[in-house]
Structure 1
């Protein structure tokens, strides 16, 4: 647990609040630490031109506690998905809390959340979060994610769908996840002449996703894409990230193919 961002820390990293709970007088050793984004409250207050460093630190800590949403995390910890779904369906639930619920559902293996998440895809302000949460609904979400990837006109939603398919692929190994993504790469390859022809956020997420399943037939389009991105003169951060993703995906698939050949 010490590797998690919200794990208790013995070293001073700024104002913090330790959350835990007792159930029927039993300490379940569930501890989460919420910290401010700054370690030095005095310096942070000075930078913000505020005289009272203590008050400034407490205001920021209260803000972080509101974002942390202890009850939502605890419900997820206890596997009380039905409670989270009721909150998600309640029109009085603040948007920030709904975003947090969708975030924890993505890690909760909550297949029962699929109908509610499908409904949320109609919401214009929570679509990305709902798509991300679909990755926690398991293989049942694959047809919906593929449909979103293939039919959405919004590049950011297609990228989220590709990312979610990659997560499902890595958890389940379901072969349905990758062919539509590999087909997209094959389709765009002939049109990639300059950086202006590349939708970097979409293509980068898509390539990472392909590498997670290590699907053998994808090695051809990934190999061709790897050649192309190095032929295009572009030193931007976006291109560097795409090159890194392409190189990793190619190696992952090639290693998988080599391992299978040795097996036979």
Structure 2
């Protein structure tokens, strides 16, 4: 096992730093790659090769800094799970510096150019004033435009500590943040940020990776468009966990490579109802990208016999193609649904009717002639 050297620092960091949040909404995780265009090729290569991390931590309460050894150990242990190593001295060789700053009451640092809850899950929230950890990193002297925020489920440390029978609200808040760090996906987010898809793939088979964490990792691989992950994602299509199956199918669709089509078609035709639905969602993303594939004929063949919720999924996918073979089947289904729908019809049937209208409108609004 690789040795982990950890450190904590009581130094108060200098001037407030304006940073931009970059990650994704995991439901499925969203990564902003636009800013990577600002990096030089050398910096991009350094990101992919990142392995040795200088880890800095700071724990602040309303009475000032406190011992951060527990915080440092928790962060280092999580990074070790992905094969990273950490060093104690910034003068020692390292690829990147990761800072973890945890506060009893979050310090408001002003508005940002972008980012926040609208951009990514668990990003820095301007309105959150409770306990929070800010995780950020830099290459050399250059700060990356990335930030991840970890928050407790309570906003008032004094009240939460009192309910828990703890006298020191600051120590209690920091302890709860450390507990959150032990399961938070920040190591996965950093690996995705640095383009390390192989490291993420390895975590799917690592002992201790929980089912929710696997779903996050799979979502990240999709968002990264990691073609090298297609074989492992294909294997996940038959995982006993239906949540992982759906995440894998969606990720394969997001990657958009034609290599993903055969396994998804097989799952669509022979899988369980949950796998059938997951495959439809993945194939729906691939259909517009690969017009000469078997996706459209397969969907058209299945459409009449599917239950209403599945018909809605297929209609939405077919409506995003430019294949005019879908017109007559969609028109026929539209006429059938129009005869069935009433003001008291089920929400599912009304949703199907809406999906059909939108799909047919994509072909010059032809359904309005009926």
1:169–1:213 CA contact under 8 A, matched in 2:
yes
Map of 1:227 onto structure 2: 335
The Cα RMSD (Å) is 3.3
Aligned to 1:24: 140
How is 1:36-75 mapped onto 2 (pairs within 5 angstroms)? 41=156, 68-75=184-191
Q: What are the residue-to-residue correspondences of 1:1-264 with 2, within 5 Å?
A: 1-2=114-115, 3-6=118-121, 7-12=123-128, 16-35=132-151, 41=156, 68-125=184-241, 126-137=244-255, 138-152=257-271, 154-170=272-288, 172-176=289-293, 177-185=295-303, 187-188=304-305, 198-200=307-309, 202-230=310-338, 231-233=340-342, 234-254=344-364
- 1:194-213 CA-to-partner distances (Å, cap 9, x unmatched) read xxxx342x222222211222
Distance 1:17 1:235, change over 3 A: farther
Which structure has more helix as a fraction of its residues? 1
Larger radius of gyration: 2
The answer to whether the 8 Å contact 2:291/2:323 transfers is: no
> Which residue in 1 is equivalent to 2:48?
none
In structure 2, stretches of 5+ residues that fail to align are 1-113
- TM normalised by structure 2 equals 0.55
Q: SS state of the match for residue 33, structure 1? A: strand
TM-score normalized with structure 1 length = 0.75
Structure 1 unaligned spans of 5+: 190-197, 258-264
* Contact 1:13–1:35, Cα closer than 8 Å, also in 2: no
The number of residue pairs the alignment matches comes to 241
Contact 2:320 2:359 survives alignment (8 Å): yes
Structure with the larger RCO, 1 or 2 (CA within 8 Å, 6+ apart):
2
SS at structure 1 position matched to 2:240:
coil
- State the alpha-carbon separation in 2 of the partners of residues 60 and 149 from structure 1: 44
